[in-house]
Structure 1
Amino acid sequence: MDDYVNKEVVEIDKVIEENENGAMRRVTTETHPSGPDGSGRRLYGMVAVSFGMLCVLQVALNISLRLESDCLTEERDQKQREKDEQFSIPGWNKFESCWYFVSSEIKTWSESRQDCVERGADLVIVNSREKQRFLFALNKRAWIGLTDRETEGFWKWVDGTPLITSYWIIDQPNNGQSVSTFPGEDCVVLQNGQDQPEKTWNDINCAEKRICICELCNNNLL
């Protein structure tokens, strides 16, 4: 009987000891966590704060650059508007970056060019399909800045550049071979009344009198 009691006491003591050891292990684990110590946590915190500050600075820089870009764009556009308004006068039509004046007086090709020059411009140079269509829409029989007076058959513009793309009426230029009144046709007019925008040029004698189209581009504006 005594042995049985002693055995039970031993078992109870063992259970108590195991419970105490378990409790001590839990206390040790809670007291000494497996993660970084206090200095490590502070380091991580500093890194996180620094990264956040860098993000804020980057956002501020982006906003500043965007505002500066917007201001420069607005300033440039305002100057362009002011420049355009300066030349926005009756009789001048704007297309892309240039202004166009259609004269009301009929003159020879040379007289017409001089008239354009006195206006700070020159006879129009047609260097794109879009410009040709714009001029076609004006529906005028007018001088343009194209001639072969210096060398027959070698057409060039008033700025000295050679003709590359042309918009002649069918069977033109013909140098006036069928016309005896004005032999030799070395200057070009836009022929109105045509139904094809890209077939409107005709060569006629430079001494004939027509209205003209002057061209003034922004790169020539003061």
Structure 2
Amino acid sequence: MITSPLIMTVSERDEFKRTNFDVEAGFKTLTEERDDLKRKLNNLAQGRWEYFNGSFYYKSTITKTWQESRDDCLQKGADLVIINSKEEHDFLRKLKKVMWIGLTDSETEGTWKWVDGTPLNERYWDSGEPNGEKSENCVEIKKFDSENSWNDVSCSTSKNWICEMKVIP
């Protein structure tokens, strides 16, 4: 009996279905990634973003509490800034604005962590800081003329803030 090349076996059909499912899932993932990139680019195009060393930074023009500031960053596809180097810290100080950064010990008193959960390594505390114990769990950049410029302060205080959106991992 001669079989037509167009006839599939059950196993060939099942394999085709699995491959098709994988392709559709990959397409869905790529579509979601594309839409996320479009949203991020749209946010950047709306201004107040500045590029430095693999990240875009958004400088607020109004003041909010630490959590409200973080929520605003998250809505923009970013988060409060995480300072990873002296160069990045110097860049932020040049903005000459008192502002929230993404550092807190609100989870465990005295254990400072960045908003992504990483522990604090680079430290730029002002003299005598941190000093707030349980009442001061969030961090601001307070001074511009000194490398040691961080201050712990009550998270309910209203301040400007800076968001960071990494474009180079």
CA shift in 2, pair 1:150/1:184, >3 Å: same
The equivalences for 1:117-132 within 5 A come to: 117-132=74-89
2:104 matched to which residue of 1?
Answer: 147
Q: CA deviation at 1:208?
A: 0.4
1:207 aligns with 2:164: no
Give the one of 16, 38, 50 matched to 1:93. 50
Partner of 2:121: 164
State the Cα deviation string for residues 86-139 of structure 1 (Å, max 9, x = none).
735420111011000011121110000000000010000001000000000001
Q: What is residue 10 of structure 1 aligned with on the other side?
A: none
Q: Residue 88 of structure 2 aligns to which amino acid in structure 1?
A: K
Task: Verify: 1:103 aligned to 2:54, yes or no.
Answer: no
Distance (Å, rounded) in 1 between the aligned partners of 2:61 and 2:45 = 18
Structure (1 or 2) with the larger CA radius of gyration: 1
Unaligned runs of 5+ in 2: 1-37
- Residue 144 of structure 2 corresponds to residue 187 of structure 1: no
Instruction: Work out the number of aligned pairs and report it.
Output: 130
Distance in structure 1 (CA, Å) of the matches to 2:168 and 2:52: 14
Report the residue type matching 1:152 in the other structure: E
TM normalised by structure 2 equals 0.72
Counterparts of 1:19-168 in structure 2, within 5 Å, are: 87-168=44-125
- 1:45-65 per-residue CA deviation (whole Å, 9 max, x = no partner) reads xxxxxxxxxxxxxxxxxxxxx
Higher strand share: 2
Give the structure with the larger helix fraction. Answer: 1
Q: Deviations over 1:181-219 (max 9, x none)?
A: xx7100000103x421x2110000000010100000114
* Separation of aligned partners in 1, 2:46 and 2:62: 18
Distance in 1, matches of 2:128 and 2:167, equals 36
Two-structure CA RMSD over aligned residues (Å): 2.0
**Higher relative contact order at CA 8 Å, sep ≥6: structure 1 or structure 2?**
2
